[in-house]
Structure 1
């Protein structure tokens, strides 16, 4: 018994940081400790370990959730009383189909009705469309999120007319019906109306909502377009806050107070694959926004950020698409740990085509599992106190504030978009990302690593990138009445009045005449990380379909299996990332056997795989004999060699070397061109 008592009371001494570092340096066997440091796309150095000393000077660590700066949550209870909203974006081919899908998905666990008008699948053109869309849906039970794009007037008018006709109280509607003209400008490069006119509409809609729909937000600040262009977390935050400040100034100039406009802005952030960075990004957003609104004189309530999150489109793949379920789950986990107020989990087939019932269900249930089975909502700010996350939060907030101030010093977000500053900033990071993907420093499972060429692709109907929707004839009398009200800057009042008299969205749009000061900038290209390798895979598949075989590289394996397997596996994965077939061989023990086997294979591109020791004599012999037999073949060696060894191999006829430092994408492109594969670069 005494032994058990001693065991119960025994404690382990806590090692100091210096003791730990000494042990680490021993395990590194002469390599510097700094070898364990890494640098992110944000140019933030990540240390291998964080301690209490790293957060000693961070004031927000001692704050409680629900108190200003709101790093730890804008709500004292976090998710405990009110979880985040399951806000899956829903599209369909018609208003009736949309209505059926929404009712089905709400019954299966969705808690917010989410519409992105530009991706909806059909135009919301008339009061009839709105009546069909919201038929038998209790708007008092569910909040609404409508991303209306550059301007939201026509939807607000039709929706308000629907509520008034159905005698549904405006005050009972909750959620967001928001416009984001600067987001549209940055993403598409063009606005059909002047920003001044759009700001007039924004201010009028916000005033109207304040008096009629007090629980509805009227402005959305989308940062996803920067994320999908390749931007880092600092840029995403800074550009979003600069956009929000532009909207604040515009509304203040039009008679609104800071406490009128700030609470009616909702931010929408993409959540990418860098788990801890994304958690820190959302936490930093609360801190920076609180400081900005406070600087405008906003109340503590106005300083609370409203934050929607969306799992990243940028990280999703066409090939091995079911892996996207895992990506989305990790991103959703980060979003909820980071404290998003609402969340859209992208369906796993998002990059392929419109979601179906199965992919919508998996996306929705990803959120429900986090809520109901992982119990994420049961802990307030689970990341709070983490030395790493708290340090990263502070670093992101500080650097985002610096970039935000730089943008403001250059004239604000619109001016920096016009000057190209924002585009260059995003492009610089995007280039790093592309280079790292092409070199496979950044791994995409199922695409540039562990590609499965036997996979059957998911087939979806090609609906075209742009649809042409038929519109009814414009009633010029309706347009004239709308224009009369708009000239007096009575945007919402006029549009709602006319919508009740069956004015269409097209007529409301026609009445918003372009005043000749439309704005154009260079758009920020939207892309996905996997696209370079997906293009190679498609080219290889087209070659297969046309000629009956994939473009193929042939391995010349040297020695017994342990001698060549590691490099043969590396080369196989390397070329399969581009859709090339890899023809393997038994291990050859002489140059004569190797050359005979290669010639029998009748290929064009060969890679010798073996150990450095086995290469010394056999590689030059193979190279000379193979090139003498067929001078057109290409011969490569797997693995990096000493410079003098490489020179001797090249002199013998070797065309190059493929190793972990090789640019996988460019190597495959070169091989494909030599093989006659048609590339659409």
Structure 2
């Protein structure tokens, strides 16, 4: 190719086509657009990563090394069994040992490949662990523990079980003891102290099996509202703090790296998830390189589908969310993947389905992707994608920058004590909440396309949870609607007042009904109304709120008269679907009381409407 020539000769023609479409949509001349108009279509993530509308050879990056070698972007294991793929890891939450063992064996018999067992205060009693783990073949299924302050005692029990076994290849046995005092401290969870962690590391490193004592849980940051780069940067900062503590205590740097694993959240943004897991390996490998141990930078990754993305309303959609999240984590190269049950944001039995059913759906989500879609048959299948490679590199840089910010402020423990880490994550969470409230970010079934005939939730389900779940503000509105229904036998309602022909009002009628349903307000649609028929429709509906729906030209002619008739019929609040400028020429005392527009804060608007009807 001649020097200086465009690697994509057709790009100029594509750009011209984009300019034509944008000029038409914006009602401007193409000459008024920027020289590179396609950048008007760019999207930006919460980490300020640019997502372009098209990736081409212009965006090509050098091919990365194969899996198993620095910087491990394509995977930490060069010889991973392509017929197995990742380990489908089930979380065992039964506190009673016999029931936990039954759940464990059922999972193993039906396709899971790894076990995540809760032990101690919120799980199986330490002294009953042998019962819970009975029948587990350690050399075939990795074991992940979640023991909190009982981590050392739980480790003793596991080591006793391992010593009683006689496997041929002890190094093939994988055990993750799950100690995580630094990340547990972020959320105020019980865990062992750092001195105990060092002792646990020494015990684990002396084992013939592959035992990792520490789990760096990025999920705690994610569930507090962190962006992807913040989750990765904070997790790496915590990992660095562990390395300092361990090496200061005399642990060899290679052994220190060998004692850490990472747990990260996988979301339904599949490309972001793919990039996140690849970027996580890249930045941790960079840490190892800086520490002089580049060969030890391939830490295992445990992906858990995001608890923050799980909804209480229309929870069946969570099956689709977790499928996308599992896809992203698997393609991104996670070593173990846990899919949370679709009803995990609700109390047990809330939907009238059994725990076994929900767990089977979670398990089969992974099995379908592994056994039917064959995602595990190829290592790093996203490699070479201009989009994914660019996203991976940009996200890694943003995460590294965030980690450097935390380091410059004194390191992980210092930013915990100062509140800087919580403050930075809280700002991102607030920004996301604003986007969801303004419906710039969609949560299907919650702030868009809700199910208006969904059964009310129980009082137990309506109690606030510990996580910053996306769309929780809208679900709180629906809780208020449920309470109103219980008290009055009907939901809050609003009368839609369609003006003009169906072609004129249909879009705004549909949009308004969808918006109202997001707040649990029933939309009463009597069909096209003449101005003369409005009072009768209002009286028949009994609604105290009405929404005018029509074209701007129709508003200029009829909105004022419609408002008069609605108020005369006893409607207390009259709104207009559209902007105030549509009735600028209408007399002030005949204008609506408010306006429903696409860019408004829908949570605030719907909350106000619920207050007006006494919900």
Counting only pairs closer than 5 Å after superposition, residues 295-334 of structure 1 correspond to structure 2 as 295-300=290-295, 302-334=296-328
CA deviation after TM superposition for structure 1 residue 351, in Å? 0.5
Cα contact 1:328–1:346 (8 A) shared by 2: yes
Please give the secondary structure, in 1, of the residue aligned with 2:383: coil
**2:237 maps to which residue?**
242
Change (3 A) 1:53 1:408: same
Question: What's the CA shift string for 1:229-272, capped at 9, x where partnerless?
Answer: 11111101100000001001101011111110102211000011
| Distance apart, 1:379 and its partner CA | 1.7
Matches within 5 A, 1:103-182: 103-117=105-119, 121-126=122-127, 129-149=128-148, 152-164=151-163, 173-182=173-182
8 Å CA contact retained: 1:316, 1:530: no
Partner of 2:499: 558
Correspondence for 2:196: 201
Aligned to 2:556: 616
**Residue 45 (1) aligns with residue 50 (2):** yes
CA distance in 2, matches of 1:285, 1:419: 26
Deviates more, 1:267-276 or 1:346-355: 346-355
Cα gap change, 1:650/1:341 in structure 2, threshold over 3 Å: closer, same or farther? farther
Determine the structure 1 residue equivalent to 2:71: 69
Report the CA distance shift for 1:670/1:649 in structure 2 as closer, same or farther (over 3 A). Answer: farther
Displacement after TM superposition at 1:437 (Å): 1.0
TM superposition shift of 1:298:
1.4
Cα offset, 1:173, TM superposition: 4.1
In 2, Cα distance between equivalents of 1:557 and 1:381: 53
User: Which one is further off, 568-577 or 149-158?
Assistant: 149-158
Alignment of 1:380-529 (within 5 A): 380-456=379-455, 526-529=467-470
Task: Tell me, yes or no, if the aligned pair for 2:481 and 2:492 is still in contact at 8 Å.
Answer: yes
Which of 605, 609, 614 aligns to 1:667? It is: 605
The 8 Å contact of residues 352 and 460 in structure 1, kept in 2 or not, is answered as no
1:88 and 2:97 equivalent?
A: no
In 2, the alpha carbon distance for the partners of 1:294 and 1:124 equals 41
SS in structure 1 at match of 2:609: helix
Distance 1:663 1:649, change over 3 A: farther
Superposed displacement of residue 93, structure 1: 3.8
Q: Gaps spanning 5+ residues in structure 1: where?
A: 1-12, 467-524
Partner of 1:533: 474
Distance 1:274 1:635 in 2: 39
Change (3 A) 1:559 1:81: closer
Partner of 2:11: 17
Q: Match of 2:594?
A: 656
Give the aligned partner of residue 635 of structure 1.
Answer: 574
Q: What's the CA shift for 1:456? A: 3.7
Unaligned runs of 5+ in 2: 1-6, 27-32, 349-353
Any conservation in 2 of the 1:124–1:155 contact (CA below 8 Å)? no
Pick closer, same or farther for the CA change 1:283–1:172 going to 2, 3 Å: closer
Q: Secondary structure at the match of 2:303?
A: strand
Q: CA deviation at 1:549?
A: 0.8
Structure with more contact order per residue of length (Cα contacts < 8 Å, sep ≥ 6): 1
Correspondence 1:27 to 2:28: no
8 Å CA contact 2:44, 2:50 repeated in 1: yes
Which secondary structure state, in structure 2, belongs to the residue aligned with residue 381 of structure 1?
coil
Q: CA deviation at 1:135?
A: 2.3
Q: What are the superposed Cα offsets for residues 593-633 of structure 1, whole Å, 9 maximum, x if unpaired?
A: 22332233332111111111211121111223433454x61
Deviations along 1:197-254, one digit per CA (max 9) or x if unpaired, are x222212211111222441111000001111111111101100000001001101011
Cα deviation code 1:475-509 (max 9, x no counterpart) = xxxxxxxxxxxxxxxxxxxxxxxxxxxxxxxxxxx
The change in CA–CA distance for 1:315 and 1:463 in structure 2 (over 3 A counts) is closer
SS at match of 2:261: strand
CA contact (8 A) 2:85 2:375 kept: no
Are 1:65 and 1:78, in contact at CA under 8 Å, matched by a contact in 2?
Answer: no
The structure that has the greater radius of gyration is 1
Contact 1:150 1:184 (C-alpha < 8 Å) held by counterparts: no
Return the TM-score normalized by structure 2: 0.91
Cα distance in structure 2, aligned partners of 1:172 and 1:29:
61
Post-superposition offset of 1:554: 0.7
Deviations 1:136-195 (A, max 9, x none): 33333321111233561121123334445678897674221120001111012x7687xx
Residues 573-584 of structure 1 aligned to structure 2 (within 5 Å): 573-584=514-525
Task: Tell me by how many angstroms 1:293 deviates.
Answer: 1.0
The worse-fitting range, judged by mean Cα deviation, of 130-139 and 42-51 is 130-139
- Alpha-carbon distance change, 105 to 663 in structure 1, aligned in 2, over 3 angstroms: same
SS at match of 1:212: coil
User: Which of 265, 269, 275 is matched with 2:264 structurally?
Assistant: 269
* Alpha-carbon separation, structure 2, partners of 1:432 and 1:63: 37
How far is the alpha carbon of 1:436 from its aligned partner? Answer: 1.1
Q: 1:461 to 1:37 in 2, by over 3 A?
A: closer
Q: Deviations over 1:35-60 (max 9, x none)?
A: 311111111222111222223xx44x
List per-residue Cα deviations over 1:17-48 (Å, max 9, x = no partner): 12210111112235442331111111122211
* Per-residue deviation, 1:62: 3.9
1:653 shift after superposition:
3.8
Whether the 8 Å CA contact 1:279–1:335 is kept in 2: the answer is yes
CA distance in 2, matches of 1:675, 1:464: 23
- Aligned-partner Cα distance in 1 for 2:405–2:8: 45
Residues 428/150 of structure 1: CA separation in 2 closer, same or farther (3 Å cut)? farther
Note if contact 1:554-1:603 (Cα within 8 Å) is conserved in structure 2. yes
SS of the equivalent of 2:206 reads helix
Q: 373-382 or 136-145, which moves further after superposition?
A: 136-145
For 2:519, what is the secondary structure of its paired residue? coil
Work out the CA distance in 1 between the residues paired with 2:587 and 2:212: 68
Indicate how the Cα distance of structure 1 residues 429 and 462 shifts in structure 2: closer, same or farther if over 3 A, else same. closer
RMSD of aligned C-alpha atoms?
2.5
**How far apart, in 1, do the equivalents of 2:78 and 2:377 lie?**
13
* In 2: Cα distance, 1:151 partner to 1:204 partner: 14
Q: How big is the shift at 1:662? A: 2.0
CA distance in 1, matches of 2:585, 2:427: 35
The separation in 2 between residues aligned to 1:575 and 1:151, in whole angstroms, is 49
Report which stretch shifted further, 633-642 or 364-373: 633-642
Contact 1:627 1:653 in 2 (8 A): no
- Rounded Cα–Cα distance in structure 2 between residues aligned with 1:554 and 1:262: 63
SS in structure 1 opposite 2:468? coil
